[in-house]
Amino acid sequence: MTATIALVDDDRNILTSVSIALQAEGFLTRVYSDGETALKAFGENPPDLAVLDIKMPRMDGLEMLRRLREKSQIPVIFLTSKDDELDEALGLAMGADDYIAKPFSQRLLIARIRAILRRTDANIRTGENGDAEPAAVIERGKLMMDPARHRVTWGGDAVTFTVTEFMILETLAQRPGVVKSRNQLMDAAYQDDIYVDDRTIDSHIKRVRRKFRQVDPSFDAIETLYGAGYRFNDE
């Protein structure tokens, strides 16, 4: 079935341009200019995924997500300003699946949407229908990753990652000690015909390391091999 994507933003230009781009990719779209209107509509007819701006009148994206999570686990991608790291962290802790900083590439947003919908669909098939085995839990030293539940702990402490960050970490942790090039990590994170430059992967790795170091300042399990890529060490 065709997925329905809800776009919630007070910028009409973003609503129009992103809606057109998503429809060209085969998605159905609904657009809302404020969180209050969108939240009411979601209660009556929920979308498959929502893209929310954080800063909106009447009800901002964070408040909308808080209320939404009281009743629903609809996947959510936040649109943020470049300097909104605090809002990004709070949004992820509240249950957002990913975030993209403005200005953003529409192709990148579409790739993130597809990645989240694939993971959501896989979790539904393995969790409800039982027609496939759920992905195995990965345990590497202090690291525990549960792909079916999108859950990560380090030494027993929970660490929250976006879908993209989770996929990059999962790719590294599946084969500890093996060097993964940036291209291999791009393929794992995006799985679509989209160009992402090396700096994007480097930025993801920096954020992954920073999140681990918030619970363990001595974290050094992800090693950079200059000119080659990255590897996970579980010793």
**pLDDT tens column, 131-186:** 555 568 999 999 999 987 888 999 999 998 888 888 899 999 999 999 999 888 88
Residues comprising the chain, all counted: 235
CA dihedral 234, 176, 117, 92 (to 10 degrees): 30
β-strand partners of 144: 139, 153
Please state whether the predicted TM-score (pTM) of the whole model is above 0.95: no
Q: Give the pair of three-digit tokens for residue 10.
A: 């007070």
Which H or E run includes 202?
helix 198-215
**pLDDT tens column, 180-211:** 998 888 887 766 555 555 577 888 899 899 99
- What's the CA gap between 135 and 185, in Å, rounded? 19
**pLDDT tens column, 20-75:** 999 999 999 999 999 999 999 999 999 999 999 988 888 989 999 999 988 888 89
